Amino acid sequence: MAFNLLNKDIETLTCPALVVFSKSSSQKDKLAKVTHSELNKKLAACLEEKSITGKHQEAVTFREINYKGFRHVIVVGLGKENQIDHESVRQSVATAFEAVKALGVKEAALHFDGITSSKKDAADFTKATVEGLILTSYVFNELMSAKKEEKEIDVHIVTKLAADKAVKAAFNEGVILATCTNFSRRLGDMPGNLMTPTILADSAVDAAKGTGLKVTVWDKARIKKERMGGLLGVSNGSAQEPRFIIMEYKGAAASKKPVVFVGKGLTFDCGGISIKPSAGMEEMKFDMCGGANVIGTLLAIAKLKLKINAVGLVASTENLVGPAATKPGDVHTARNGKTFEVNNTDAEGRLILADALSYATELEPQVIVDAATLTGAMVVALGNTHTGYFTRNSALKNKVEKAAVESGEWVWNMPLVDFHVKDMKGTYADLSNISAGKGAGSATAAAFLEQFVGEGIPWAHFDIAGTGWAVGNRLPYCTKKGASGVMVRTFVELAKQHA
């Protein structure tokens, strides 16, 4: 696939397919409009009979219309004018790409100037357009013996503003963000046997080549030496070695405190001795999506050359039932010296994050942000629409909200109070890994994590259990079942605010 900005007069272009847009009217009885004035006239009858309504994500294909230099024309609905924003554009473009794919053509021109005539929105929408195209073009078929021939499709984003500096920069940024998100999605989509902690770490090392990122990987012996009792304890039931991945980016003076991202990299979670039910267990290959998305975030930060210092930390292991597996009741000691009882071996994410957050604290960061497919309770609370996040820092909350508006990803602030902390007290050790109380399983998990974050360090925890994969029902640029790469774009926006 190739996507480019093209500074050409669309009227003089020759291309197998042309994508133009339509907008519905905010007035009840008014007809929709096609945003290309000549086609608006030509397709007047279709507008009149409402076969083009301008509805968001509607695609009407006119095969063999032979309009000027174009064999086919696709009209994609943008919705009502006042409801168009960069996220709706991202989704409309996804619809456009699917319609182009269905035509079977190799090349298409997208009439971008029809989306907006405002220079202010142009950069923002250019970024959304190229993100929508790249995200939608992602396919995961590398494990099929007979690979379906994926046709290479070139899409030209045709705009008079192609030479505008801000538009160009936005295009480049969109390419980086979406490409890094797709990189994370692939890590997530790989099955547990082909995405072990070792392979995950090697993938981070390989991807970082040439980006200026320094990647250090700790093996089991080093993890032991570094007193990471949580990560080690979870890995005890597995034949695969755990890994602790450290990605460092230096884009500012050494004196500038780093922004630290932490990810849960559970490459397969069967629950351990507190084993999960079989049905749906295969989905637990996605339990490393927090880690995968942190790797994607660091790659994007480095490629964008942000003027910050950033560190990505991914604790990676399997959670299985081998003879040496942690047993319910076992007590382990985290890196910061705190002890915990493992009363349910399936609540393992918090144990590996405990060590990673302790290590993050030692880096004296500006801020710590973590992403984890941490609790089933998060899925119950928010389904797959919003990523629930927890923070007690109101300034950071504001930054998160702003970042999410910029990225178009939905987040929801969840409560975290002292009662949740109380529920996580242990009987025989400092902490228990499951709550003594009823309900609020995502908040009590967050309260457990908080015990490993240094006093006074702004920290936010993102529980992506519901949004890490299988969001295709609501996001047309994501696959139905696959990983979403959620939070890569938001985390990059958040990083920018710490420059």
Site residues, ligand BES (CB under 6 A): 269, 287, 344, 346-349, 373-377, 379, 434, 441, 465
406 binds, among ligand BES, Zn ion, none (CB under 5 to 8 A by kind): none
Q: Which of 61, 67, 2 is nearest to 37 (CA)?
A: 67
423 binds, among Zn ion, ligand BES, none (CB under 5 to 8 A by kind): none
Instruction: State how far the Cα of 41 lies from the Cα of 484, in Å rounded to an integer.
Output: 40
Based on CB atoms, which residue is closest to ligand BES, 287 or 406?
287
* Smallest gap from residue 350 Cβ to ligand BES (A): 8
Whether the Cβ atoms of residue 292 and residue 486 lie closer than 8 Å to each other: no
* Smallest gap from residue 486 Cβ to ligand BES (A): 12
Q: Which of residues 251-270 bind Zn ion (CB under 5 A)?
A: 266, 269
Q: Which residue is nearest to ligand BES (CB)?
A: 376
13 binds, among Zn ion, ligand BES, none (CB under 5 to 8 A by kind): none
Q: Which of 67, 150, 46, 59 is nearest to 100 (CA)?
A: 59
Largest Cα separation within the chain, whole Å, is 78
Supply the residues annotated as catalytic: 276, 350
Based on CB atoms, which residue is closest to ligand BES, 46 or 440?
440
- Residues 268-297 vs Zn ion: string with x where CB under 5 A? -x-----------------x----------
Q: Does 346 bind Zn ion (CB under 5 A)?
A: yes
* Smallest gap from residue 377 Cβ to ligand BES (A): 6
Based on CB atoms, which residue is closest to Zn ion, 179 or 319?
319
Based on CB atoms, which residue is closest to ligand BES, 349 or 485?
349
Number of residues that bind Zn ion (CB under 5 A): 6
Based on CB atoms, which residue is closest to ligand BES, 54 or 466?
466
341 binds, among ligand BES, Zn ion, none (CB under 5 to 8 A by kind): none
* Smallest gap from residue 284 Cβ to ligand BES (A): 6
Among positions 349, 388, 408, 482, the unique one binding Zn ion when judged by CB under 5 A? 349
* Smallest gap from residue 236 Cβ to ligand BES (A): 16
* Smallest gap from residue 261 Cβ to Zn ion (A): 18
* Smallest gap from residue 345 Cβ to ligand BES (A): 8
108 binds, among ligand BES, Zn ion, none (CB under 5 to 8 A by kind): none
298 binds, among ligand BES, Zn ion, none (CB under 5 to 8 A by kind): none
Based on CB atoms, which residue is closest to ligand BES, 134 or 377?
377
Please give the residue ranges that form the binding site for Zn ion (CB under 5 A): 266, 269, 287, 346, 348-349
